[in-house]
Structure 1
Amino acid sequence: MAPPKPGIIPLRPLQFGEILDGAFQTIRRNAAAMVGSALIFQAVSQVLLGFVSVAMLQTAESLDSVQSRAELNVIMGPLLGLMAGTLGIAVLTGFLGSVLQGVLVVPVSRSVLNRRTGFKQMWKLAAGRMWRLLGAASLLTFGGLLAIGAVVGIAVVLLMSMGPIAFAIVAPLWLGALAAYLWIALKLMFAPAAIVVERLGIYDGLLRSWQLTKNSWWRIFGITLVVNLMVGIIANVVQIPVSLAAGGIGSFVSPHADLASNSSALLLTTVISTVVGVLVGSVTFSFQTSVSALIYMDLRMRRDGLDVELMRLMETGGDADGVPGAPSGTAGVGPWPLHGPPWPSDGGQQPGPQQRGPWPQA
């Protein structure tokens, strides 16, 4: 008998095509909650980035009129400040994206049992985990910045002390650092989902993600890589005609190449590109987050027997207003109750395949 499929996916370990199909269905069924939230997030980040980009281009154009070292120093200060602002916006975007990833797992989890989730309901269900989500996002963001800063610092010291020959060391260093960053990032990718669904703390959520990805890293990497390539190609296909159209409109609005006309054309094209970027980014971000959440559900079905628990919820209709997948009787105390793991630790046997405990082995 085929496993039941009450919602977007069958209640069994998933295949790649089922993950993609489930992500599309989740967005279609919960468009207001998922695309609406992602639209707000993308609008804030794109508007901030657009303002900084326009100001940076206008400041850079003023370099043509520089005639002395003093004027150059006056212009370079704001230009460096705008460049730092761009970096800050990128960091803020990554931080907020990590938080929103944990929030959007709510409608994905509920859609598994064919439960629709509204915008207000989604944020209400995630509100109790918000401080832990913010803490985990801060820790992940700070750790990434610290790692990047350490690698850049080591590379600068080597180049300054050894000269051009240091490139023979810096290039492998950068490749090794990139590989380590990808490995750790994928190992911790499901921490926001675990914090929200399983009601874990910050440390337990990170540990839980690390355990779930054990022996599954390459599969997760392959799915994530293919999805990111798909999203990137679609976004570029949409942006190319928009950029050409925006350039044509800019040429029509400012046919004369004076500074005021160029500024007006630049502002117009930036607004058009920003609006389209926000719309495309909100859909692609929702899709990527849905895929990530479904991978998390798949890992739990493979390791925890979550499919059995979901079948039980489907039959009984229990916790109709909650988030499916939350452990019963463990309100955020960690990946197992405080008295220890759910199997005996004094020489007893751990659960075998016929005794599917609610948590994987450490």
Structure 2
Amino acid sequence: MIPLRPLSLSDIFNGAVGYIRANPKATLGLTTVVVVVTQALALILQLGPLLSMGKVGSETGEELSTPALVGSAASSVASGVTTALAGILLAGMLTVVVGRAVFGAKITVGEAWHRLRGRLWALIGFSALEVLAAVLLIGVVVAVIAGIAVAANGTAAVIVGIPLVLALIAALVYLYTSLSFAPVAVVLERKPIVASIRRSFGLVRNHFWRVFGIRLLASVVAGVIAGAVSVPFSLAGQLFLIGGSSSGSIVLATTLAAIGGAIAQIITAPFTAGVTVLLYTDTRIRAEAFDLALQSATGAAAVDNETADNLWLAPGR
């Protein structure tokens, strides 16, 4: 799927598309199933409580009782958690698919799940730690700015807050980039969470700007494609809302937006996962001469996929 040498940007992007073409069932098929099920659950969780109480389309806060508000908030949280867990599952399984595709071999959805199953909790744990770290950083900055505003005045809070916010953005970008390969290490190298974090920092250290730039470009490409796909559905939903404020119009508009989002995710999720794994592969080639292991695996993968999979393990493991 990729040349056995350090990869260029075009090699990474072409490979991210090539593995989808080579194994559409395990990429687009898997993504479609996970995304459709997730979006359906999210819609039910978001609209279910309000529909059951006949509160969809209520325009005044007085019409929404406390139980309805609590139920709606709980449903939104449950919907968010469901979507996040599905995203983690999908990213993990696509990582397995790309990892096998690098050696020119296909893998079924069942085989991908079998390989991911033992690493899923570690993947969820890492994602939770990542979110917690971001929330703590943001919380500290907000608390400091709020404290200065209370102790001194708004002007002092602005003077101190601007550099603090810029430092926060820089810290989040640094963590986002430095942790890029931790999920891949969890899945392909089968490392525990802390070891995967150390592994990612070690790989990215001397290639920070390259990793950041390629991931940013991939995100922009995916965002443009997702927007082009989902915007027509959102516009159609807005037209229905303009035409009427009944429960049916709101449900239809929400459903159309969910359909557009689902189609966009089905198209972009495999590409994004492919870019991440191939960028990880390229970084290992540059840092560890991993292309030699890839060359030795070309024949092994055709005979024994397990042997090829084990080549992802870090040196010395």
Bucket of the pairwise TM-score, normalised by the shorter protein: 0.7 to 0.9
Partner of 1:12: 5
Distance in 1, matches of 2:60 and 2:162, equals: 35
Q: Do the aligned residues in 2 keep the contact of 1:194 with 1:200 (CA within 8 Å)?
A: yes
Partner of 1:172: 163
Summarize the alignment of residues 210-229 of structure 1 with structure 2, pairs less than 5 Å apart.
210-229=201-220
Structure 1 residue 316 displacement after superposition? 4.1
Alignment of 1:268 with 2:252, yes or no, is yes
Distance in 2, matches of 1:203 and 1:41, equals: 28
Structure 1 residue 97 displacement after superposition? 3.0
Distance in 2, matches of 1:43 and 1:232, equals: 19
Sort the Cα spacing of 1:323 and 1:134 in 2 relative to 1 into closer, same or farther, 3 A. farther
Q: Which amino acid aligns with 1:140?
A: E
Structure 1 residue 135 displacement after superposition? 2.6
Sort the Cα spacing of 1:244 and 1:96 in 2 relative to 1 into closer, same or farther, 3 A. closer
Select the residue among 131, 152, 173 that pairs with 1:162. 152
What secondary structure sits across from 1:213 in the alignment?
A: helix
Partner of 1:301: 285
Give the aligned CA root-mean-square deviation in angstroms.
3.1
Alignment of 1:35 with 2:35, yes or no, is no
Superposed CA offset, 1:124-144 (max 9, x none): 122232232233223223322
Aligned residues: 313
Larger Rg: 1
Structure 1 residue 212 displacement after superposition? 0.5
More deviation, 197-206/150-159:
150-159
Select the residue among 315, 322, 326 that pairs with 2:306. 322
Structure 1 residue 25 displacement after superposition? 1.0
Q: Do the aligned residues in 2 keep the contact of 1:208 with 1:335 (CA within 8 Å)?
A: no
Alignment of 1:64 with 2:60, yes or no, is yes
Partner of 1:242: 233
Structure 1 residue 223 displacement after superposition? 0.7
Structure 1 residue 184 displacement after superposition? 1.0
TM-score computed with the length of structure 2 as normaliser: 0.85
Partner of 1:286: 270
Sort the Cα spacing of 1:231 and 1:320 in 2 relative to 1 into closer, same or farther, 3 A. same
More deviation, 101-110/312-321:
312-321
Structure 1 residue 152 displacement after superposition? 2.8
Q: Do the aligned residues in 2 keep the contact of 1:310 with 1:325 (CA within 8 Å)?
A: no
Q: Do the aligned residues in 2 keep the contact of 1:113 with 1:314 (CA within 8 Å)?
A: yes
Distance in 1, matches of 2:301 and 2:171, equals: 44
Structure holding more helix per residue: 2
Alignment of 1:120 with 2:110, yes or no, is yes
Q: Which runs of 5+ in 2 are unaligned?
A: none
Select the residue among 178, 186, 189 that pairs with 1:187. 178
Distance in 2, matches of 1:154 and 1:335, equals: 44
Distance in 1, matches of 2:191 and 2:111, equals: 20
Distance in 2, matches of 1:140 and 1:147, equals: 11
Alignment of 1:103 with 2:93, yes or no, is yes
Q: Which runs of 5+ in 1 are unaligned?
A: 1-7, 338-362
Superposed CA offset, 1:54-103 (max 9, x none): 5789969645374xxxx78x55x754774576466446644553454333
Structure 1 residue 319 displacement after superposition? 6.4
Structure 1 residue 31 displacement after superposition? 2.2
Structure 1 residue 37 displacement after superposition? 3.4
Distance in 2, matches of 1:53 and 1:156, equals: 33
Sort the Cα spacing of 1:30 and 1:315 in 2 relative to 1 into closer, same or farther, 3 A. closer
Distance in 2, matches of 1:35 and 1:102, equals: 14
